[in-house]
Structure 1
Amino acid sequence: MDIVELKTRKEITQAFAVVNELRTHLDLNKYLELVTEAMETDNYHMFAMMEEEEIVAVAGLKPMVTLYYGRFVWVNDLVVTSEKRNNGYGEIMLHFVEQWAAQNKYDHVALSSGLEKAQAHKFYQEKMDYDKASYVFLKKNV
């Protein structure tokens, strides 16, 4: 299996079906608009795990610097296609993100996970050794 960075519109479009399993509220046009803007303005990177020629997992991340975490990588999106879950692909992808962060001189990796995703929380805490560091609050429509 290879993990490749997705850079072209065609590559990013090919990842939509997988990303849409996590981001079900997005249609293809909105997805392309947001990914393009994030790449252009926010240093967003998107990586795909390829099994033969099929995308089986996607990770989207942003390198950031804040006073709270210092230099870190924020994982915006991490999804394994439903047919391939429970095969260790999420672990491989998250280890890849951690290696990418270290190679690019970022000290930490952080992410948030929806309150309803208890299985994902267990994965992050028990399998991947992530600590629950905070709550994320959201105010819509400002």
Structure 2
Amino acid sequence: MASAISSEVVYAPASASAQQDITLEFSRRARGISIWAALRALGRDGLRELVDRNIAQAQHVAARLEAEGYEILNAVVLNQVLVRAGDDERTQQICSAAHASGVVWFGLTRWRLSSWRTGQENLDRLVELLAGLLRDARD
């Protein structure tokens, strides 16, 4: 039963006793409260601008990383960019090096960045770091 309702993912492994994996209550949280709070704080136009900005930022990162030699694995229609640096080993090495740099943290998954506070300067630093790491990995 626990495996049927498990929420474990590669980037956030759960312990054997994780509450979200032993009860259905984890899936019943009040999801509407966060939507209400965002609408209350930003308004409809503000929320639309936030979503549009996040999508544009993701598309910007995807285009720049692709130009640097990364493979883009998804159609960038939301605020997520899935990239690959040739093979799994090189991708993992670059991810580890990026984390060790202290500049950025992002999740690693086997298939195929963003926060409401993410600014253009953060994205430019991310692309510069990843481009340099890919160049170093090729040498």
- Alignment TM class, shorter chain as reference: under 0.3
Name the TM-score, length of structure 1 as normaliser. 0.24
Relative contact order: is structure 1 or structure 2 higher (C-alpha 8 Å, sep ≥ 6)? 2
Q: Which has the larger radius of gyration?
A: 2
Name the TM-score, length of structure 2 as normaliser. 0.24
Report which of the two has the higher share of helix: 2
Report which of the two has the higher share of strand: 1
